């Protein structure tokens, strides 16, 4: 291991920057292999710092010249940056460097995608563009001049002037370097405009390759709705004359909130009914909102250092969740968010990668763009809002924007604003930011005379580096139902602060049923003894939609557990209860579709492991299959009716109601093929005029082994559409029977369209493979070997994507000794590669330690 890989950065070591920046001017002379970057930066000593050397980050740069106040200087260079003697007064730093965007395969800094120049600077990519204090607490206005032969030349801020082969941009809002962006290429715009609340005219553009112009309308509409929503709900207006979005095909993450110039993975902006599913439409709407909302939560107020990442990400995810709830309905959105949290964040918390919402140390910050920082970070804000109430939350947010606009802030600043605005004491609540692990909440019920007692207790298991846990401040939403299904006590928030507390409800002569953790009011695991009869009762009667769904899920998990552990048949009572629930016309179709989604194989493995059993992935897979068949047999008539009745007449619309109907019809189809055979799915595949129905039919056919012909036809029709072909690759891997998954991946990675250098395509095969639980965890270790072979190949080229894929191994402790050993051996093989990136090395080390 090189010394670099061992550099650990600690939150506790933060020191303010020794020099501040007043202004940045950049000139880019674009060339694929020899771009020149000329920088002119006004520095001044930071009066609030204890001093220190003048250090500028810089990596993989060729320094051509450097000057201070016009005089040539010879800085001392290392592979991380430079130091230089500087005056003890304000001065101007000028430098010229050369970089090679066409050789930049890491997709960090300035790189090329499909002949177009683009940048990705978060978190520490700007240091690959020029020498600069590349840390978020150094903020400055930027002026940028671009020179190159591309017809479109974009950067942050407002356009100043342009001519043949050049353009100048001015961003008046001080920003850290990670929000810098430039784009240059042959791009076409889908344009529109927006008038802000106070009358500012804003030009809006979505820049794409000319052939993708027809796939921008929905994204543009989502952008305008986001802008309006942020004004209406948070009082936040846009602050430049122009807002540009650019779609790029090669992108490590989802999208990026660069000031005034958001850059998107094309998969998260381009869509049309023919090429995108309802899930894509919803995700695109949410990500466009997310990046737009960063303009205030992230850009105007940024993070002091990268340990505070959740300050912008948790809050912005929370805001995009609220937005999607307002657009598409809060109950279904809450269920989806809980599913996602459990699938990705609870898994992280339960294994060797567990870390607090605000981590305390890291080697490579790119490895901390995690479900914990993002999704649990958002849950923590949801809890804060529940604790202080909607009005308190609004006051606190107003104060946050007023007090910290223009700042690089911390979580302490954030919590202080809530304390000052509402008077709430958040000292215990703050533990949510520093304590890792998912708390287990136990609920016991007791009824005596006319008093009902609910005893809540909490416990959090040890996580790496945190053997001892303290009780957290948990808001627990509870309602009580009478035996006939009436709500006898409406939802109230119980405040749990101790390890154990008892809450009393009086005036209840008959024993009520407690609906606990309504709306998933805290990101915890609820342990509450429940009979199948009680769960069925809650599924039918709970007035809280989240908990009604939760009861159904609970039933399904219990049934699956019995099938896996005892080989029992699917319980009749469960099948009857599910049939009743999906038949209920008063329930939202989208909600009913969610009821038909069984707990995943990963959910079951986690559950069995937590209950003290070693899971067997093949057995889980087989039981899952058996339960699906049992549902198809029991509810055949109901499912056939749902599939027919929820086909909507008329042209495709991506709205939530239409999407919910399609989701229910397609959920039914998934089961129907198991008993009816392929005809119905084949018919849908033939006639579908939209990707949602086409892909659902294709999936149903592949699932029953009738996919060959439709897969070939799908490929012939879509082979030139990269985004659609990602679905074609991904679907075959996800649905491959466990015993064939390795061979399927081998076959697909040999396909002429498999381009492993494109992150989307890589993930559509190898990412999907890691999620095919029984296929990836094949007992002979062939799945582990296969993934590791690819990571060894990918790491030198793109460390970020390779490192993230290593997370597939984080479940190591769950499995039997044989699999554990094979997983460990595979990881050791990866870590013994010479020249392994710091990114990947850190992930492997954390999993193996």
Task: Kindly list the catalytic residues.
Answer: 291
Which residue, 272 or 321, is less far from Zn ion as judged by CB? 321
Distance CA 259, CA 174 (A): 10
| Beta carbon of residue 803, minimum distance to ligand TRP (angstroms, whole number) | 10
| Beta carbon of residue 97, minimum distance to Zn ion (angstroms, whole number) | 29
Structure tokens at 364: 């490579």
User: What's 513-570 look like in SS3?
Assistant: EEEECHHHCCCCEEECCCCHHHHHHHHHHCCCHHHHHHHHHHHHHHHHHHHHHHCCCC
Which residue, 309 or 627, is less far from Zn ion as judged by CB? 309
Which residue, 93 or 292, is less far from ligand TRP as judged by CB? 292
Q: Which residue is nearest to ligand TRP (CB)?
A: 253
348 CB-contact burial (10 Å; exposed 0-12 / middle 13-18 / buried 19+): buried
Which residue, 246 or 664, is less far from Zn ion as judged by CB? 246
Nearest to 67 by CA among 92, 31, 43, 35: 92
The site partner of 760 among Zn ion, ligand TRP, none (C-beta below 5 to 8 Å per kind) is none
Which residue, 316 or 734, is less far from Zn ion as judged by CB? 316
Which residue, 316 or 800, is less far from Zn ion as judged by CB? 316
Which residue, 249 or 257, is less far from ligand TRP as judged by CB? 257
Beta-bridge partner residues of 162: 167
| Beta carbon of residue 606, minimum distance to ligand TRP (angstroms, whole number) | 26
| Beta carbon of residue 113, minimum distance to Zn ion (angstroms, whole number) | 20
Which residue, 122 or 230, is less far from ligand TRP as judged by CB? 122
Segment holding 686, helix H or strand E: helix 679-687
DSSP 231: H
| Beta carbon of residue 438, minimum distance to ligand TRP (angstroms, whole number) | 22
The site partner of 120 among Zn ion, ligand TRP, none (C-beta below 5 to 8 Å per kind) is ligand TRP
Query: How do 500-505 and 451-459 pair as beta strands?
Result: antiparallel
Cβ atoms of 500 and 457 closer than 8 Å: yes
Distance CA 287, CA 254 (A): 8
Distance CA 275, CA 718 (A): 9
The owner of tokens 């009816």 is 676
The site partner of 616 among Zn ion, ligand TRP, none (C-beta below 5 to 8 Å per kind) is none
Cβ-proximal residues to 356 (8 Å cutoff; 6+ apart), any chain: 372, 433, 434, 435, 436, 466
At 248 the three-state DSSP class reads strand
Structure tokens at 421: 């605005």
Which residues here bind ligand TRP, judged by CB under 6 A? 120, 122, 252-253, 255-257, 290-291, 313, 366, 369, 800
Cβ atoms of 295 and 257 closer than 8 Å: yes
- Here the contacts of 1-5 (C-beta below 8 Å, separation 24 or greater) are 1/841, 4/79, 4/838, 5/363, 5/836, 5/838, 5/841, 5/842
Beta-bridge partner residues of 143: 25, 170
| Beta carbon of residue 257, minimum distance to Zn ion (angstroms, whole number) | 6
The site partner of 369 among Zn ion, ligand TRP, none (C-beta below 5 to 8 Å per kind) is ligand TRP
Write phi, then psi, for 184 (nearest 5 degrees): -145, 130
Distance CA 698, CA 702 (A): 6
Nearest to 175 by CA among 145, 134, 146: 134
The owner of tokens 């466990």 is 738
Structure tokens at 197: 């609340």
| Beta carbon of residue 291, minimum distance to Zn ion (angstroms, whole number) | 7
Distance CA 463, CA 465 (A): 6
Distance CA 39, CA 781 (A): 52
| Beta carbon of residue 262, minimum distance to ligand TRP (angstroms, whole number) | 9
Edge-first strand listing for the sheet containing 513-516: 487-496, 474-481, 513-516
Total Cβ atoms within 10 A of residue 351? 20
Which residue, 316 or 571, is less far from Zn ion as judged by CB? 316
What is the Rg, in whole angstroms, of the alpha carbon atoms belonging to the chain? Answer: 27
The CA angle 179-180-181, to the nearest 5 degrees, is 115
Which residue, 268 or 736, is less far from Zn ion as judged by CB? 268
Which residue, 369 or 815, is less far from ligand TRP as judged by CB? 369
| Beta carbon of residue 192, minimum distance to ligand TRP (angstroms, whole number) | 22
Per-residue x/- mask for Zn ion, residues 285 to 314, rule CB under 5 A? ----------------------------x-
| Beta carbon of residue 107, minimum distance to ligand TRP (angstroms, whole number) | 8
| Beta carbon of residue 641, minimum distance to ligand TRP (angstroms, whole number) | 42
At 828 the three-state DSSP class reads helix
Cβ atoms of 168 and 159 closer than 8 Å: yes
Write phi, then psi, for 444 (nearest 5 degrees): -120, 140
The site partner of 122 among Zn ion, ligand TRP, none (C-beta below 5 to 8 Å per kind) is ligand TRP
Question: What residues line the site for Zn ion (CB under 5 A)?
Answer: 313, 316
């Amino acid at each position: 291991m090189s010394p670099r890989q061992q550099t650990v950065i600690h939150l506790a070591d933060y020191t303010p920057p020794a020099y501040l920046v007043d202004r940045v001017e950049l000139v880019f002379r674009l060339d694929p292999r020899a771009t020149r970057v000329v920088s002119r930066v006004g520095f001044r000593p930071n009066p609030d710092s204890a001093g220190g050397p003048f250090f500028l980050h810089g990596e993989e740069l060729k320094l051509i010249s450097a000057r201070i106040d016009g005089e040539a200087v010879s800085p001392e260079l290392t592979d991380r940056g430079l130091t230089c003697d500087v005056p003890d007064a304000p001065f101007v730093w000028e430098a010229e460097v050369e970089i090679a965007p066409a050789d930049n395969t890491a997709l960090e800094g300035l790189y090329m995608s499909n002949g177009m120049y683009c940048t990705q600077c978060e978190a520490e990519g700007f240091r690959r563009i020029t020498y600069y204090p590349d840390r978020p607490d150094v903020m400055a206005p930027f002026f940028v001049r671009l020179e190159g032969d591309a017809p479109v030349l974009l950067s942050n801020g407002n356009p100043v002037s342009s001519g043949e082969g050049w353009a100048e941009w001015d961003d008046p809002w001080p920003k850290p370097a990670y929000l810098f962006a430039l784009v240059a290429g042959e791009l076409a715009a889908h344009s529109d405009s927006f008038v802000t609340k106070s009358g500012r005219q804003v030009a809006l553009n979505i820049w794409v390759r000319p052939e993708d112009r027809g796939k921008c309308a929905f994204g543009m509409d989502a952008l305008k709705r986001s802008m309006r929503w942020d004004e209406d709900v948070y009082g936040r207006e846009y602050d430049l004359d122009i807002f540009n979005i650019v779609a790029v095909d090669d992108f490590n993450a989802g999208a990026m909130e660069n000031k005034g110039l958001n850059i998107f993975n094309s998969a998260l902006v381009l869509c049309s009914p023919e090429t995108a599913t309802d899930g894509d439409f919803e995700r695109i709407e949410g990500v466009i909102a997310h990046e737009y909302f960063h303009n205030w939560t992230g850009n105007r107020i940024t993070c002091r250092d990268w340990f505070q990442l959740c300050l912008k990400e948790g809050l912005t995810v929370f805001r995009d969740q609220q937005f999607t709830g307002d657009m598409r309905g809060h109950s279904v959105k809450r269920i989806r968010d809980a599913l996602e949290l459990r699938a990705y964040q609870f898994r992280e918390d339960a294994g060797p990668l567990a870390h607090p919402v605000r981590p305390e140390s890291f080697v490579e910050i790119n490895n901390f763009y995690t479900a914990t920082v993002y999704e649990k970070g958002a849950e923590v804000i949801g809890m804060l809002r529940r604790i202080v109430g909607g009005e308190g939350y609004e006051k606190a947010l107003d104060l946050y924007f007023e007090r910290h606009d223009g700042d690089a802030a911390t979580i302490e600043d954030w919590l202080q604003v809530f304390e000052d605005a509402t008077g709430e004491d958040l000292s215990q609540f703050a533990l949510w930011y520093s304590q890792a692990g998912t708390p287990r909440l136990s609920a016991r019920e007791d009824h005596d005379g006319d008093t009902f007692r609910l005893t809540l207790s909490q416990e959090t298991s040890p996580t790496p580096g945190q053997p001892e846990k303290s009780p957290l401040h948990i808001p627990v939403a509870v309602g009580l139902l009478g035996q006939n299904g009436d709500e006898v006590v409406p939802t109230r928030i119980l405040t749990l602060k101790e390890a154990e507390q008892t809450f009393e409800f009086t005036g209840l002569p008959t024993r009520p049923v407690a609906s606990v953790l309504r709306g998933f009011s805290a990101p915890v695991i609820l342990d509450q003894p429940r009979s199948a009869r009680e769960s069925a009762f809650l599924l039918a009667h709970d007035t809280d939609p989240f908990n009604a769904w939760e009861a159904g899920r609970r039933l399904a998990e219990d049934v699956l557990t019995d099938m896996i552990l005892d080989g029992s048949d699917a319980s009749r009572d469960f099948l009857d209860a599910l049939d009743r629930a999906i038949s209920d016309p008063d329930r939202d179709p989208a909600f009913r579709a969610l009821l038909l989604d069984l707990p995943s194989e990963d959910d079951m493995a986690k559950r069995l492991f937590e209950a003290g059993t070693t899971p067997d992935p093949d057995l889980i897979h087989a039981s899952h299959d058996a339960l699906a068949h049992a549902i198809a047999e029991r509810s055949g008539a109901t499912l056939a009716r749902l599939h027919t009745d929820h086909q909507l007449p008329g042209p495709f619309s991506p709205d939530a109601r239409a999407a919910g109907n399609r989701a229910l019809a397609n959920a039914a189809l998934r089961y129907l093929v198991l008993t009816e055979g392929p005809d119905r799915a084949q018919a849908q595949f033939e006639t579908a005029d939209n990707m949602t129905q086409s892909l659902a039919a294709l999936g149903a056919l592949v699932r029953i082994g009738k996919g060959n012909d439709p897969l070939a036809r799908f490929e012939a029709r879509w082979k030139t559409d990269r985004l659609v072909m990602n679905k074609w690759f991904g679907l075959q891997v996800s649905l491959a029977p466990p015993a064939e998954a390795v061979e399927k991946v081998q076959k697909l990675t040999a396909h002429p369209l498999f381009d492993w250098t494109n992150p989307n395509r890589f993930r559509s095969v190898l990412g999907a493979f890691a999620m095919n639980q029984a296929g990836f965890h094949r007992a002979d270790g062939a799945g582990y070997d296969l993934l590791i072979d690819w990571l060894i190949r990918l790491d030198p080229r793109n460390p970020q994507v390779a490192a993230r894929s290593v997370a597939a191994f984080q479940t190591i402790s769950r499995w039997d000794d044989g699999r554990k050993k094979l997983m460990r051996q595979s990881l050791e093989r990866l870590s013994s590669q010479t020249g392994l990136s710091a990114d990947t090395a850190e992930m492997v080390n954390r999993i193996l330690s």
